[in-house]
C-alpha cells in the first residue's frame, strides 16, 4: 500500500457533476447512506433490495426502483453493499445475470472472503465486466455523512472510472493494488485488529473492576494518554459502560469477520493465535443470546470469565 488516495486526472467535482447511471444493490443501514450520497452527487441511481421498504425510501429521495437485477446491471456501473459471501454469490455471481450485463464495472463494497473476491474477479472478467473491491471503514452515520474510508483494489482503468462514485461516498479512497482481493485482505486485517482491540479493552476493564477501579475511569485515562483515537474512545466507552445497543455492527458480523481472518490466515499459512480466542469469545456471546447486540458485547464474555456481574 502506498498510502495515497486514488485520484485520476481531472477535477473531482467536475467529474462527479457529469453524473453516471448507477445500479445499487443492498439498502441496509450502510447501503442507504451510500446510495443517498450518490444521488446528492448528481448520479442517476436505480436501486434494488430484497425488501421493498428501503427501495421506497430511496425513490422518495430521487432514485428509481430497478425492475430487477438485470436492470441494475444495465447501468453504467453497479455498486453493491451486501452482508456476506453467501449473499454476493447467490445474487450477483449468477453467470446468466453477468452474461446479459452491459455495466462497465461492478464495485463490491462488502467485506467478503479473499476466495470470493478472486472468484468474482474471474467470473466478471469472463463476461467483460470490470470488478473493483472497495470495502469500507465506518458505521452507518459515517456512511450517511459521506465520510467513509474506502479500501479499493482493481485495475487502474476501473478505479479511475469509478473514482467519482467513491469520492461521493467517502472521505478518502485507499489504493491497495490491482487485484481486488488485496482490498478485501486489507479490510479483513483491519476488522481483525478492531476485534482484538475490543477484546483487550474488555479484559483490561474486567481486571480493573475486579480490583476496585471503575472501568469508565480507566478508559478515560487510557484514551487521553496511551490510546487516543476513535477505536479506543468509542469502543472503550461502550465496553466500560456495558452499552451494546443500539447495534452499529452486530455481533454475528464480527464473528464472520474473525472467521474470514482465520480462513485467510490458514490459506497463507499465517498463524493467528488471537483469532482462535476471539472466535470462541464471539461464539460464547452468541450462545448467551447477544446476537442482536453490537459486537462490543463480546466484552460481556470477559466479564463472565472474571466472575463479574452481568
In this structure, is residue 79 part of a structural domain? Answer: yes
Cα gap 106→85, rounded to integer Å:
15
Residues 23 and 168 in one domain: yes
pLDDT over 70 at 9, yes or no: no
Residues 52 and 92 in one domain: yes
Active site (catalytic) residues: 187
Residues 251 and 147 in one domain: no
In this structure, is residue 155 part of a structural domain? Answer: yes
pLDDT given for residue 4 in this prediction: 33
C-beta of residue 208 within 8 angstroms of C-beta of residue 218:
yes
User: Among residues of the chain, what percentage have pLDDT more than 70?
Assistant: 94
pLDDT given for residue 125 in this prediction: 98
Rounded mean pLDDT of the chain? 94
Residue 89 lies in domain = 12-178
Mean pLDDT score, 224-234: 95
| Tens of pLDDT, residues 49-86 | 999 999 999 999 999 999 999 999 999 999 999 999 99
Of the candidates 152, 178, 204, which is a domain's last residue? 178
CATH number of domain containing 40: 3.40.50.720
Residues 174 and 282 in one domain: no
Confidence band for 120, pLDDT divided at 50, 70 and 90: very high
Residues 280 and 132 in one domain: no
| Tens of pLDDT, residues 22-42 | 999 999 999 999 999 999 999
In this structure, is residue 171 part of a structural domain? Answer: yes
Residue 184 C-alpha cell reads as: 478485501
Confidence band for 310, pLDDT divided at 50, 70 and 90: confident
pLDDT over 90 at 135, yes or no: yes
Please give the distance of CA 22 from its chain centroid, rounded to a whole number: 20
Mean pLDDT score, 147-154: 98
pLDDT given for residue 18 in this prediction: 55
Of the candidates 178, 205, 238, which is a domain's last residue? 178
Mean pLDDT score, 196-201: 98
pLDDT over 60 at 14, yes or no: no
Domains of the chain: total: 2
pLDDT given for residue 13 in this prediction: 28
| Tens of pLDDT, residues 274-308 | 999 999 999 999 999 999 999 999 999 999 999 99
Amino acid at each position: 500500500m502506498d498510502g495515497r488516495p486514488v485520484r485520476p486526472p481531472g477535477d473531482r467535482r467536475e467529474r462527479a457533476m457529469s453524473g453516471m447511471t448507477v445500479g445499487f444493490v443492498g439498502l441496509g443501514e450502510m447501503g442507504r447512506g451510500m446510495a443517498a450520497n450518490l444521488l446528492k452527487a448528481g448520479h442517476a441511481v436505480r436501486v434494488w433490495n430484497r425488501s421493498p421498504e428501503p427501495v421506497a425510501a430511496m425513490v422518495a429521495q430521487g432514485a428509481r426502483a430497478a425492475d430487477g437485477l438485470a436492470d441494475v446491471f444495465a447501468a453504467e456501473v453497479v455498486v453493491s453493499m451486501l452482508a456476506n459471501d453467501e449473499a454476493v454469490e447467490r445474487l450477483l455471481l449468477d453467470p446468466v445475470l453477468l452474461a446479459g450485463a452491459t455495466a462497465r464495472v461492478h464495485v463490491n463494497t462488502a467485506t467478503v472472503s479473499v476466495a470470493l473476491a478472486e472468484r468474482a474477479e474471474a467470473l466478471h472478467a469472463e463476461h467483460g465486466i470490470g470488478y473493483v473491491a472497495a470495502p469500507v471503514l465506518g458505521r452507518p452515520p459515517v456512511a450517511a455523512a459521506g465520510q467513509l474510508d474506502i479500501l479499493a483494489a482493481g485495475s487502474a482503468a476501473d478505479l479511475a472510472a469509478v473514482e467519482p462514485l467513491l469520492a461521493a461516498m467517502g472521505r478518502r479512497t485507499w489504493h491497495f493494488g490491482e487485484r481486488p482481493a488485496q482490498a478485501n485482505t486489507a479490510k479483513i486485517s483491519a476488522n481483525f485488529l478492531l476485534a482484538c482491540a475490543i477484546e483487550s479493552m474488555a479484559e483490561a476493564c474486567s481486571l480493573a473492576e475486579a480490583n476496585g477501579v471503575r472501568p469508565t475511569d480507566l478508559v478515560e485515562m487510557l484514551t487521553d494518554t496511551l490510546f487516543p483515537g476513535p477505536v479506543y474512545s468509542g469502543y472503550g466507552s461502550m465496553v466500560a459502560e456495558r452499552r451494546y445497543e443500539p447495534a452499529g455492527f452486530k455481533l454475528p458480523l464480527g464473528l464472520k469477520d474473525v472467521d474470514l481472518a482465520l480462513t485467510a490466515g490458514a490459506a497463507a499459512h499465517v498463524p493467528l493465535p488471537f483469532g482462535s480466542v476471539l472466535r470462541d469469545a464471539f461464539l460464547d456471546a452468541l450462545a448467551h443470546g447477544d446476537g442482536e447486540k453490537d459486537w462490543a458485547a463480546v466484552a460481556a464474555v470477559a466479564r463472565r470469565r472474571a466472575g463479574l456481574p452481568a
